Amino acid sequence: MSAVTGQRRERFGRPIERRDGRDLPFYDGRPIEVAAWKWLIIVLACAAGFAALVLIPQPDQIVALVPRLLFPAIPLSVFILFTGRYWTSIFRRLSGWDLLDMVVFWLLNLAVSAIVGLVVAAVFGANPNPATDGLAASGAANLVAFYVGTGIQLFGEEVFTLLPFLALMYLLVTKAHLGRKTSIVLAWLVTAVWFGAAHLPTYDWNFAQAFLIIGAARLVLTLAFIRTKNIAVSTGAHILNDWATFTVAIVVAASAAA
């Protein structure tokens, strides 16, 4: 039975949440109750998936497919174990509106990242993402494996963020007895910090870059999930954003080497 009624399930306005009858799953005991201890194990599984991603050696893009697959597979396996057939509640069949939102949040992410990035770079400095280093001259097989692998990894980043987001929602609503809107905002902010922290090694421990630039981008992507209740939309926006950035970097490197 739902643990939240009336005013505590109040929604955000139409610019943030659609009026389509969808709601975020699990925070109020629907479609099933997932106990707090289960959410803790799910979050630990997210950390274990991330550990596999960063600790398993990746000598080339083909070998890198293994840790990139483990990254989402480990937490999803635990999530499915605890939610059974309801694990699909975080996925929805893509509609035309979903595809439109995917593009809108991609472009919004680009704009927000660019603005915040310019400010942070001017004040704190910024380090480049080394993901595409050497790719232009690495051969077709490595290049294809890179795009396939990063697509999987970016889905993993959504799982890594959104399962803890739902865990926090559940704890804040059912244990702290906060309203739905307050719980969404707090979970939205905390998981942006969690996501930014995971990127510290990527950007040579530049805290401003990880927490401000990457954190701001994460806020936009999580907002895509809040709006659509569909991890496929936030994943699509994430892939469009990063693949566009990677492709520009690879083309520039190839042109410089020509």
The pLDDT value given to residue 4: 57
Half-sphere exposure of 99 (CA within 13 A, CB side): 4
Q: Cα(106)–Cα(237) distance, rounded to whole angstroms?
A: 5
Q: Give the closest residue to 228 by CA, choosing from 54, 2, 16.
A: 16
pTM of the model: 0.95
The pLDDT value given to residue 138: 83
The pLDDT value given to residue 8: 64
Average pLDDT on 81-110 reads: 97
Hunting for tokens 């936030």 — which residue is that?
234
CA angle 49, 69, 225 (to 5 degrees): 70
Average pLDDT on 16-27 reads: 93
Is the pLDDT at 35 greater than 90? The verdict is yes
Structural domain spans, the chain: 6-257
Average pLDDT on 70-77 reads: 98
Give per-residue burial for 97-107: e unless 16+ CB within 10 Å, then b: ebeebbeebbe
Q: pLDDT tier at 1 (50, 70, 90 boundaries)?
A: very low
The pLDDT value given to residue 39: 98
Q: Cα(200)–Cα(209) distance, rounded to whole angstroms?
A: 8
Asked if 64 contacts 145 with a C-beta cutoff of 8 angstroms, the reply is yes
Q: Enter the tokens of residue 64.
A: 């890198």
Average pLDDT on 67-92 reads: 98
Average pLDDT on 201-205 reads: 94
Q: Cα(4)–Cα(24) distance, rounded to whole angstroms?
A: 13
DSSP state letter for 227: H
Asked if 11 contacts 24 with a C-beta cutoff of 8 angstroms, the reply is no
Is the pLDDT at 105 greater than 70? The verdict is yes
| 199 alpha carbon, distance to own chain's centre | 12
